[in-house]
Chains A and B, each alone.
Chain A
Amino acid sequence: MSKTESLQGSLDLLVLKILSRRPGLHGYAIMTAIQILTEDVLRVEEGSLYPALHRMEEAGWVRARWITKDTGRRARLYELTRAGQRRLAAEESRWQAVSLAIDRVMRMA
């Protein structure tokens, strides 16, 4: 792992957000999307992505389906559910509140 920030608790938020913009991504694509969008600042620990996706699936925020690609391999694509959209909204506003608060502290100091 290079000098990139670990995602800690915000992995759910990023995954939900990305899936809300671009439904039907597989795990690898989600991971790449995070790296590209954050310009490599944030990097997903590849191992922790799948348990997180499966957890969100069990929670009913995302749903998955299998497709067969042109190469003949199967891939598992994820997309947001209604519950996932509500969750995303909640997570987003929570995140904004937190980052605003941190921002305020930074400016004061």
Chain B
Amino acid sequence: MSWVSRVVNVFRGDRLNREIDEELQSHLEEAREAGRDPAEARDALGSRLRLREASRDVRLVAWLDSLRADAVFGWRQLLKRKLTSAVAILSLALGIGACTSAFRLIDALLLRPLPVSDPGQLYALARQVVDFDGKLHSSGDWAYPDFELMRKAAGGQAELIAVSYADRTDLTFGSDEEMEKAYRQYVSGYMFSSFGLRPAAGRLFTAADDAKPAAAPYAVISYNYWASRFGRDPRVVGRTFRIGDKLYQIVGVAPDGFTGTEPGTMIDIFLPVMMHPGVLHSDWEWMRTLARIKPETAMEPLRARLDATSRAFEEERAKGFSGMPKEEIELFLRQKLVIQKAGAGASDLQDNFRVSLAVLGALVALVLLIACANVANLMTAQAEARAREMALRVSIGAGRRRLIQLVLVESSWMALFAAALGAAFAWWSAPLAVGMLSPPEDPTRLFLPMDGRVLSFGLVLTVVVMLLMGCAPALRASAVRPASTLKGGENPRSRRRLMHALIAVQAAFCFLVLFVSGLFVATFQHLSHQPTGFSATGVLTLETVASQPQLPAIWDQVTEHLRQVPGVESVSLASAALMSGSSWNNFISVNGAPPNSILAYMLSASPGWLDTLKIPLLEGRDFLATDAYPGAAIVNQTFARTYFGSQDPVGKPFVVIFGQGQQLKFQVVGLVGDVTYRDAREPILPQTYFPFHQIDARGALQPLAHGTFIVRTSGANPMALASLLRREVPRARPGFRVSNIRTQTSINESHTVRERLLARLGLFFGLVALLLAAVGLFGMLDYSVIQRRKEIGIRMAIGAQPGDIAWRVIASVLTMVVAGAGVGLALGFAVARYVQSLLYQVKPTDLAMLAAPTVTIFAAAILAALPPVLRAVKIDPAQTLRSE
């Protein structure tokens, strides 16, 4: 009864007052009836106001009551100044929303534990080596035979689990015409039981599915895929599908929430690791090695044992590396095994974005701090207007604590509204940011729940924001000295000092945000304007699969058919599109010399490929229809320089050395301009192109199952032809099927996804920071002009020039901006090395990199200062002085 009724009484305060009054009144009436003198009875009872207060305090929760009163008061204050409140709330909301959004992303990708039992015991094995240039290389790639040895070596201390990299594959539940895409991952059968997962339907894999290669053609589908593709139909268990020429039977559905071990990719289909074609290959590194390690295990001995096992495996393998340069082998064997935490899974997306997201998170936190400083300044300025009210409160007995509470309650109103708006912003913006993590044709799929983790982050953030913006004004308010304030003139300087400090802080943070985002924008500019050496505009690439390997002549027929399609300018055939991620390299030997330690990169292409991509032919000739692999080769300038020095390469022979010691002879028939093979970030690689037609040792042409048509279109939008071309390929030759269509432009852009994200978001938050800081500066100056109206009026009356006045108004604030920018610069240099890995051809110390934020900040400062300065010089001394 008691505390409930006391809480309830808080919200029926008026009624409570009436009841108490009525009871006291009834007391007096009784006294009168008993014949006492009414005046004497009233005196005996004492002050009714005091009695009412005393009774109120026992009948309700006093602090809650005062909080309620302050909340009502604060709400009225907020309504009184609708515009400023709205601006303050909006800027805070943007800050809170952006921070929450960043947290959602970072949490979903990097922090959130996998939904498995004891995720804290999950680790991933990687190998690290420092190369000859002192650069650290880390790789989580493993070959399955190596994994098998390590698994045995780990014994009972750790359970090693093989999981392949997630990939997107073609599969069909019916005919070839009904091909669809799904994300697949090969996993060790016992992974499910080790993770403590139970099937939602059917069964999951077990160790029995790992027994021998290619013997378990089964699939487990994810709950997600089950729901979206099959509408949770339980009859899905037992259905079969085909990938390539392999048939699989679905045996079960994984539990809800488990979408594989690679954050950023939601797996649709799990296959037993034994079904992977690379499972017996020692030189095929296609999987990660996860480890479940019991908590009490000593890590170093375990690591050393695994390291030794893996090294022995690789040393054995290196014996077969004939033709590989010695130093490469040495570097290869120097790799050290490390055990890394993987409770949140392990994926390339994590490695790619770990630093970027941390930096973006820091940027949005700075923006939030700027917004907080803004609102704190706003409230401090308003506290000036309320100084008399505060002084009055103190002088009639309000405690300092109560005043602090009053201001804090007001700021929590703002924080609350800002948090609500911010939550909406985060809800909307986080998926948007996820969409920017990957190119559109291979989207990142990330589970982004708004759950307890996100909510508690938002809550903590809101409280921090409330304290940050409320503390300074609250302490100010409580430090009010009634005697001097009520007399009409508290020294405004101390108040202004605080506001100036906040302006400096804003300028510093703003500089930092602009500086860092400037680095990102410049990086993106450099990368996207990096010449690739070929023309990507208007080019479509059609990855094509033949259901049965077909002879080159058949591929040529399809090429010819596509050339007849209206809107197509030229068509050629290559093993892959440039920069598409597929890469083929080997060592080269010239004139029987030991192989050069630099790898050459290779691609096969049909005649006309150079023309289609507009790669300039510098010397010699293009391939002829009669050229075949091995035999003729076209090389680029870097290749010529690397292996032939200053000699003319055309007509010269060279030998390609394959890993197994096989050697093939080629003769250079043409020299072409340099093009980007993999990625615009790296220097141009030595490249050689081979004819698409392949012959075996006896000279017979070889059938091929895969090829990529490179199509140059004449229209502005090559994608307009995509669906037509997709239909034309099987029409040209039944059994041919396009599995993937991309424009060359989007392939090129996929390499700058991270830089684009950083540049766009950096620029956006840079502008927001600038806007907030400018608004803050404007507000502060405007306030100080109003405050100093009297002083300015007097100065003008005794003959000060407008220039003097303007200078007086902005001097101190400008000093603060300069000081702040200086601090921001120092901070910028300090953090530059943390973002160095994200930059490309950009030096933080470049004059341009420093000039841009400096100029921007001062331009914004001057712009923001203009209206208040104009207002100051327009002050009419006669009027101002009369009104005082």
- Enumerate chain A interface residues (CB-CB to B < 8 A): 26-29, 32, 46-47, 50-51, 54-55, 57-60, 73-76
Contacts A27-B27, A28-B31 aside, 6 further interface pairs with beta carbons under 8 A come to A28-B26, A46-B41, A47-B45, A54-B20, A58-B5, A76-B23
Query: Contacting A73 at CB < 8 Å: which of B1, B29, B44?
Result: B29
What is the chain A residue whose CB lies nearest that of B29?
A: A73
Q: B648 near A: Cβ within 8 Å?
A: no
Majority secondary structure of chain A interface residues (helix, strand, loop or mixed): helix
Find residues 218-243 in chain B having any chain A CB closer than 8 Å to their own CB: none
Majority secondary structure of chain B interface residues (helix, strand, loop or mixed): helix
The distance in angstroms between the C-alpha atoms of A55 and B56, with both chains bound, is 10
Chain B hits for A57, CB < 8 A = 59
Query: Contacting A51 at CB < 8 Å: which of B26, B27, B29, B54?
Result: B54
The distance in angstroms between the C-alpha atoms of A29 and B30, with both chains bound, is 8
Q: B58 near A: Cβ within 8 Å?
A: yes
Can you sample 16 A-B contacts with CB below 8 Å? A28-B27, A28-B34, A46-B41, A47-B44, A47-B46, A47-B50, A50-B20, A50-B54, A57-B59, A58-B58, A73-B26, A73-B29, A75-B26, A75-B30, A76-B19, A76-B22
Q: Are B23 and A50 in contact (CB under 8 A)?
A: yes
Q: Are A54 and B30 in contact (CB under 8 A)?
A: no
Q: B723 near A: Cβ within 8 Å?
A: no
Chain B hits for A59, CB < 8 A = 2
The distance in angstroms between the C-alpha atoms of A46 and B5, with both chains bound, is 26
Q: B288 near A: Cβ within 8 Å?
A: no
Q: Are B59 and A58 in contact (CB under 8 A)?
A: yes
The distance in angstroms between the C-alpha atoms of A76 and B21, with both chains bound, is 11
Query: Contacting B51 at CB < 8 Å: which of A47, A60, A73?
Result: A47
Chain B hits for A73, CB < 8 A = 26, 29
Chain A hits for B31, CB < 8 A = 28
Chain B hits for A28, CB < 8 A = 26-27, 30-31, 34
Chain B hits for A32, CB < 8 A = 34
Find residues 5-28 in chain B having any chain A CB closer than 8 Å to their own CB: 5-6, 19-20, 22-24, 26-27
Q: Are A27 and B45 in contact (CB under 8 A)?
A: no
Q: B717 near A: Cβ within 8 Å?
A: no
The distance in angstroms between the C-alpha atoms of A100 and B59, with both chains bound, is 35
Q: Are B6 and A51 in contact (CB under 8 A)?
A: no
Q: Are A74 and B55 in contact (CB under 8 A)?
A: no
The distance in angstroms between the C-alpha atoms of A63 and B59, with both chains bound, is 13
| Given A59-B2, A60-B2, A50-B55 contact (CB < 8 Å) | yes
- Shortest B45–chain A CB gap in Å is 5
The distance in angstroms between the C-alpha atoms of A46 and B55, with both chains bound, is 13
What is the chain B residue whose CB lies nearest that of A81?
A: B1
The distance in angstroms between the C-alpha atoms of A47 and B27, with both chains bound, is 11
Q: Are A58 and B26 in contact (CB under 8 A)?
A: no
Chain A hits for B45, CB < 8 A = 46-47
Q: Are B58 and A54 in contact (CB under 8 A)?
A: yes
Chain B hits for A55, CB < 8 A = 58
- Shortest B550–chain A CB gap in Å is 92
Chain B hits for A29, CB < 8 A = 30
What is the chain B residue whose CB lies nearest that of A51?
A: B54
What is the chain B residue whose CB lies nearest that of A28?
A: B30
Chain B hits for A76, CB < 8 A = 19, 22-23, 26
Q: Are A74 and B58 in contact (CB under 8 A)?
A: no
| Given A46-B45, A47-B46, A58-B59, A26-B26 contact (CB < 8 Å) | yes
The distance in angstroms between the C-alpha atoms of A72 and B41, with both chains bound, is 21
Q: Are A26 and B59 in contact (CB under 8 A)?
A: no
Chain A hits for B19, CB < 8 A = 76
Type the 1/0 row for B38-49, where 1 means its CB is closer than 8 Å to any CB of A. Answer: 000100111100
What is the chain B residue whose CB lies nearest that of A57?
A: B59
The distance in angstroms between the C-alpha atoms of A54 and B60, with both chains bound, is 10
- Enumerate chain B interface residues (CB-CB to A < 8 A): 1-2, 5-6, 19-20, 22-24, 26-27, 29-31, 34, 41, 44-47, 50-51, 54-55, 58-59
The distance in angstroms between the C-alpha atoms of A22 and B648, with both chains bound, is 123
Q: Are A46 and B46 in contact (CB under 8 A)?
A: yes
Chain A hits for B27, CB < 8 A = 26-28, 46, 50
Chain A hits for B59, CB < 8 A = 54, 57-58
- Shortest B74–chain A CB gap in Å is 28
The distance in angstroms between the C-alpha atoms of A50 and B45, with both chains bound, is 10
Chain A hits for B34, CB < 8 A = 28, 32
The distance in angstroms between the C-alpha atoms of A8 and B592, with both chains bound, is 114
- Shortest B144–chain A CB gap in Å is 73
Q: Are B44 and A46 in contact (CB under 8 A)?
A: yes
Chain A hits for B5, CB < 8 A = 58
Chain A hits for B47, CB < 8 A = 47
The distance in angstroms between the C-alpha atoms of A96 and B22, with both chains bound, is 37
The distance in angstroms between the C-alpha atoms of A59 and B20, with both chains bound, is 17
Q: Are A60 and B58 in contact (CB under 8 A)?
A: no
What is the chain A residue whose CB lies nearest that of B45?
A: A46
Q: Are B46 and A51 in contact (CB under 8 A)?
A: no
What is the chain A residue whose CB lies nearest that of B44?
A: A46
The distance in angstroms between the C-alpha atoms of A88 and B6, with both chains bound, is 23
Chain A hits for B46, CB < 8 A = 46-47
Chain B hits for A26, CB < 8 A = 26-27, 30
Most A-side CB within 10 Å, residue of B22, B23, B51: B23
Chain A hits for B22, CB < 8 A = 74, 76
Chain A hits for B26, CB < 8 A = 26-28, 73-76
The distance in angstroms between the C-alpha atoms of A26 and B26, with both chains bound, is 9
- Shortest B852–chain A CB gap in Å is 66
- Shortest A37–chain B CB gap in Å is 16
- Shortest A105–chain B CB gap in Å is 35
The distance in angstroms between the C-alpha atoms of A28 and B30, with both chains bound, is 7
Chain B hits for A54, CB < 8 A = 20, 55, 58-59
Q: Are B6 and A50 in contact (CB under 8 A)?
A: no
Chain A hits for B24, CB < 8 A = 50
Chain B hits for A58, CB < 8 A = 2, 5-6, 58-59
The distance in angstroms between the C-alpha atoms of A60 and B58, with both chains bound, is 12
The distance in angstroms between the C-alpha atoms of A51 and B48, with both chains bound, is 11
- Shortest B46–chain A CB gap in Å is 4
What is the chain B residue whose CB lies nearest that of A1?
A: B44
- Shortest A100–chain B CB gap in Å is 32
The distance in angstroms between the C-alpha atoms of A29 and B29, with both chains bound, is 12
- Shortest A102–chain B CB gap in Å is 30
The distance in angstroms between the C-alpha atoms of A10 and B45, with both chains bound, is 19
- Shortest B195–chain A CB gap in Å is 54
- Shortest B537–chain A CB gap in Å is 81
- Shortest B749–chain A CB gap in Å is 70
By Cβ-Cβ distance, the 8 closest A-B pairs, closest first, are A47-B46, A28-B30, A51-B54, A55-B58, A54-B55, A46-B44, A76-B23, A46-B45
Query: Contacting B55 at CB < 8 Å: which of A51, A60, A75?
Result: A51
Most A-side CB within 10 Å, residue of B34, B50, B59: B59
- Shortest B6–chain A CB gap in Å is 6
The distance in angstroms between the C-alpha atoms of A26 and B44, with both chains bound, is 17
Chain B hits for A27, CB < 8 A = 23, 26-27
Most B-side CB within 10 Å, residue of A51, A55, A57: A51
Q: Are B1 and A60 in contact (CB under 8 A)?
A: yes
The distance in angstroms between the C-alpha atoms of A73 and B47, with both chains bound, is 22
Q: Are B1 and A51 in contact (CB under 8 A)?
A: no
The distance in angstroms between the C-alpha atoms of A76 and B22, with both chains bound, is 9
- Shortest B569–chain A CB gap in Å is 90
The distance in angstroms between the C-alpha atoms of A55 and B47, with both chains bound, is 19
The distance in angstroms between the C-alpha atoms of A29 and B26, with both chains bound, is 11
- Shortest B865–chain A CB gap in Å is 59
- Shortest B279–chain A CB gap in Å is 75
- Shortest A48–chain B CB gap in Å is 8
- Shortest B60–chain A CB gap in Å is 9
The distance in angstroms between the C-alpha atoms of A58 and B182, with both chains bound, is 67
Chain B hits for A75, CB < 8 A = 26, 30
The distance in angstroms between the C-alpha atoms of A28 and B54, with both chains bound, is 18
Chain A hits for B30, CB < 8 A = 26, 28-29, 75
The distance in angstroms between the C-alpha atoms of A58 and B62, with both chains bound, is 13
The distance in angstroms between the C-alpha atoms of A55 and B54, with both chains bound, is 10
Chain A hits for B1, CB < 8 A = 60
The distance in angstroms between the C-alpha atoms of A46 and B26, with both chains bound, is 13
